[in-house]
Amino acid sequence: MSLQPKPFYSIDDWLVNERAALETRSEYIDGEVFAMTGAREAHNLIVTNLSRELSTQAKGRPCRVYANEMKVHIRATNEGRYPDLVALCGEREFYDARTDLLLNPSLIVEVLSKSTERYDRGDKFASYRLIPSLREYLLVSQHQMRAELYCRQPDGRWLLSDFHAASDQIPLESIDCQLSLAEVYDKVDLIEPET
């Protein structure tokens, strides 16, 4: 019995298909394409709250905040991903003139779900760490009030800070912003993980 070979796509093939798709999204990992699923209400509210808070603080400064739809290219591993939120200050670098595949984020945020948490902490973070411009990686739970901030140190190590009280303030030095955990969870009904 012979196995069917998996189709191989170049990053440009993936981009053509992604740009033509109206209702679906996929991520690209070194020649393979993986469909993405939709998100629950808590996830969407958290991303909206993060975007609102950071965009307000970035107003009038050369900083940009992108939620959900900005793709990020990880050159070292030949990947194209859709983080939940991406931000940077200063010059933006894009893959091409379409300006929808960012090369130089300084902050990436992922909202954790039961189905993605292990991956977001593991292989995905390992890939993100290979982006030279990335200085901070923020993981936000949608099931409990908790955020974990990983900050790249000058020697290349990543330092973890954990936030879990509504009064906690999360310092995002890469974009000179600060997040209130209470604002991140505004209107979010914290629920038990789905089974």
What phi and psi values does residue 167 have, to the nearest 5 degrees? Answer: -80, -5
Look up residue 4 and give its two tokens. 């069917």
What is the b/e burial string over 105-135, where b = at least 16 CB atoms within 10 angstroms of the residue's CB? bbbbbbbbbeebbeebbeebbebbbebeebb
Please, what sign has the CA dihedral across residues 161, 29, 69, 64? Answer: positive
Residue 154, pLDDT score: 96
Question: Are the beta carbons of 26 and 35 closer than 8 angstroms?
Answer: yes
Residue bearing tokens 């993605």: 116
Residue 6, pLDDT score: 66
Digitized pLDDT (tens) for each residue of the chain, 195 residues in all: 456 556 788 999 888 988 888 778 888 898 888 888 778 899 999 999 999 999 999 999 999 999 988 999 999 999 999 999 999 999 999 999 999 999 999 999 999 988 889 999 999 999 999 999 999 999 999 999 999 999 999 999 999 999 999 999 999 999 999 999 999 999 999 865 554
Q: What architecture is the 37-184 domain classified under in CATH?
A: Alpha-Beta Complex (3.90)
In this structure, the number of other CB atoms found within 10 A of the CB of residue 71 comes to 24
Cα(142)–Cα(193) distance, integer angstroms:
8
Domain ranges of the chain: 37-184
Look up residue 88 and give its two tokens. 């940077």
Cα(82)–Cα(104) distance, integer angstroms:
14
Taking Cα atoms as reference points, which of 194, 182, 108, 195 lies closest to residue 146? 182
CA 5 to chain centre: 31
Taking Cα atoms as reference points, which of 41, 120, 148, 28 lies closest to residue 77? 28
C-alpha distance from residue 156 to each of 131, 136, 151, 171 (Å):
12, 12, 9, 19
What are the percentages of helix, strand and coil residues in the chain, rounded to 5?
25, 30, 45
